[in-house]
């Protein structure tokens, strides 16, 4: 057995392989494995049903947020249509399973692929546009997709929505939070693994080059249009996969949740978590979901106080306010997000007593 490596106290990398390593010490790898084991063995059994539901939602949102981070954080293209792509995935899975009886194992990746195709179509403007203009184009994409989801009644059944039949996986019926927990987090683990490794390949490096300086990237021979489209495709694939899981988990699919505020929530996850960090997307998903749920709990609590209900004050907008405030405060005080905060905390422990 080889010797376990500890964190060095400086940057002593000697080869490109060291530079590309995901875990800089073996303890990082061990801790991650321990964390995953604890997550899979303990969490579903000790948490009450409501908490497990929140955890499952975090898992689904985290998958989509990783996808958005590949687009925004690594390729540098701001998309305001991620919520709509999530919806496309949800509808694709719902239509496939309700109308065509496609099995779960096939319909989820297929929904991802369909969404990737839609995402690539809406990524075409990126060939000519960048920055602000591209953001506005994706905003338009959000509204157009939303319109199609509501009005293409032959397929999406309009405002009535689709009820998704109970899925089965290898002969086991998937109903109930615990079974879904395993499916969602297995997919999440796979997707994190894929994203982390994608960034290390030539594709990931090309994305980062485009983000840092698109002219230089083009000059170095990266065909940036096709890479931008690819980035849109991968990002939408993640969104579609998450949407498909969401559709199965939520049982009934209507078009209301996939509006602009969902897209804004995804952007907020990516920014609060940390742009250009896969772990950051997960932190962001945790933060936003927990914030949403605790604000809901808080407003429900306040509604029960007699004097507030009597004064006719509606507390629901308070959620929106606090949500906006969280985004604003993060951008003003820690624009690199939770991932950066975590890094600072860790390194100050590591460098103690000489931390700075």
Partner 1 sequence: MDFFIQLLVNGLSVGFLYGLSAMGFVMIFKSSSVLNFAHGELLALGAFVFLSLHSVVQLPIGWAFLATLTGCFVLGFLIERFFLRPLIGEPLIYVIMLTVGLAAMLRGLLLLIWGGNLRTLPDFLPAWMDIQSGWLRIPPVYMAAILVGVLFLVLFGLFFKYSAQGIFMRSVADNQRAALSLGVHVRRVFALSWGIAALVAGMSGIILGLMNGISVHDLSAVGLKVFPVVILGGLNSISGAVIGGLIIGVLEAFTGGYLSPSLRDVVPYIVLVVLLLVRPYGLFGLVEIERV
List contacts with partner 1 (CB under 8 A).
72, 78, 124-125, 128-133, 135-137, 139-141, 143-144, 147, 151, 214-215, 218, 224, 260-261, 264, 267-268, 271, 275, 313-328, 331-332, 335
- DSSP type of residue 129: -
Tell me the closest approach of the beta carbon of residue 143 to partner 1, in angstroms.
Answer: 4
Q: Are 62 and 285 in contact (CB under 8 A)?
A: yes
Tell me the closest approach of the beta carbon of residue 350 to partner 1, in angstroms.
Answer: 28
Nearer to partner 1, 131 or 165 (CB): 131
Distance CA 100, CA 93 (A): 10
Tokens 């109930």, located at residue: 176
Residue 219, token pair as written in the block = 């000059």
Distance CA 40, CA 117 (A): 33
Nearer to partner 1, 144 or 190 (CB): 144
Strands (E), 2-150: none
Nearer to partner 1, 144 or 351 (CB): 144
Nearer to partner 1, 50 or 321 (CB): 321
Strand 162-163 and strand 172-173: the pairing is unpaired
Burial class of residue 302, CB neighbours in 10 A (0-12, 13-18, 19+) = middle
**Which residues on adjacent β-strands are paired with residue 252?**
163
Tell me the closest approach of the beta carbon of residue 213 to partner 1, in angstroms.
Answer: 10
What does the DSSP assignment read for 20-51?
H-S-SSHHHHHHHHHHHHHHHHTHHHHS-HHH
Across 44-56, b (16+ Cβ under 10 Å) vs e yields: beebeeeebbbbb
What does the DSSP assignment read for 109-148?
HHHHHHHHHHHHHHHGGGGT--THHHHHHHHHHHHHHHHH
Tell me the closest approach of the beta carbon of residue 151 to partner 1, in angstroms.
Answer: 6
Distance CA 287, CA 272 (A): 8
Tell me the closest approach of the beta carbon of residue 120 to partner 1, in angstroms.
Answer: 14
Nearer to partner 1, 166 or 216 (CB): 216
Nearer to partner 1, 136 or 208 (CB): 136
Nearer to partner 1, 253 or 271 (CB): 271
Tell me the closest approach of the beta carbon of residue 292 to partner 1, in angstroms.
Answer: 12
Nearer to partner 1, 103 or 317 (CB): 317
Nearer to partner 1, 39 or 218 (CB): 218
Tokens 């939070």, located at residue: 177
Tell me the closest approach of the beta carbon of residue 327 to partner 1, in angstroms.
Answer: 3
Q: Are 134 and 251 in contact (CB under 8 A)?
A: no
Tell me the closest approach of the beta carbon of residue 325 to partner 1, in angstroms.
Answer: 6
Q: Are 200 and 208 in contact (CB under 8 A)?
A: no
Tell me the closest approach of the beta carbon of residue 203 to partner 1, in angstroms.
Answer: 19
């Amino acid at each position: 057995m080889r010797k376990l490596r500890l964190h060095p106290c400086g940057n002593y990398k000697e080869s490109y392989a060291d530079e590309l390593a995901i875990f800089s010490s073996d303890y990082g790898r061990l801790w991650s494995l321990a964390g995953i084991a604890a997550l899979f063995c303990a969490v579903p059994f000790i948490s009450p049903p409501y908490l497990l539901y929140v955890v499952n939602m975090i898992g689904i949102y985290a998958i989509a947020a990783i996808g958005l981070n590949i687009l925004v954080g690594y390729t540098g293209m701001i998309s305001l249509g991620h919520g709509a792509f999530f919806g496309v995935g949800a509808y694709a899975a719902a239509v496939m399973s309700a109308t065509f009886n496609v099995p779960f194992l096939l319909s989820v990746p297929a929904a991802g692929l369909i969404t990737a195709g839609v995402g690539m179509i809406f990524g075409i403007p990126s060939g000519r546009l960048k920055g602000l203009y591209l953001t506005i184009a994706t905003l338009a994409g959000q509204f157009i997709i939303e319109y199609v989801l509501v009005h293409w009644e032959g397929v999406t059944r309009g405002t009535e929505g689709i009820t998704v039949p109970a899925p089965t996986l290898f002969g086991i019926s998937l109903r109930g939070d615990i079974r879904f927990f395993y499916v969602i987090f297995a997919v999440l683990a796979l997707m994190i693994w894929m994203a982390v490794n994608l960034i290390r390949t030539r594709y990931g490096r090309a994305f980062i080059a485009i983000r840092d300086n698109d002219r230089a990237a083009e000059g170095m021979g990266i065909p940036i249009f096709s890479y931008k489209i690819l980035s849109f495709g991968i990002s939408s694939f993640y969104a579609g996969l998450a949407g498909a899981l969401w559709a199965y988990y939520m049982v009934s699919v209507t078009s209301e949740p996939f509006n602009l505020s969902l897209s804004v929530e995804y952007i907020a996850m990516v920014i609060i978590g940390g742009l250009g960090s896969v772990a950051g997307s997960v932190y962001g998903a945790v933060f936003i979901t927990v914030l949403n749920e605790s604000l809901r709990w808080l407003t429900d609590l306040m509604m029960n106080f007699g004097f507030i209900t009597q004064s006719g004050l509606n507390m629901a907008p308070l959620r929106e306010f606090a949500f906006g405030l969280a985004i604003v405060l993060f951008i003003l005080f820690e624009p690199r997000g939770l991932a950066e905060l975590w890094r600072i905390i860790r390194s100050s422990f590591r460098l103690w007593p000489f931390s700075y």
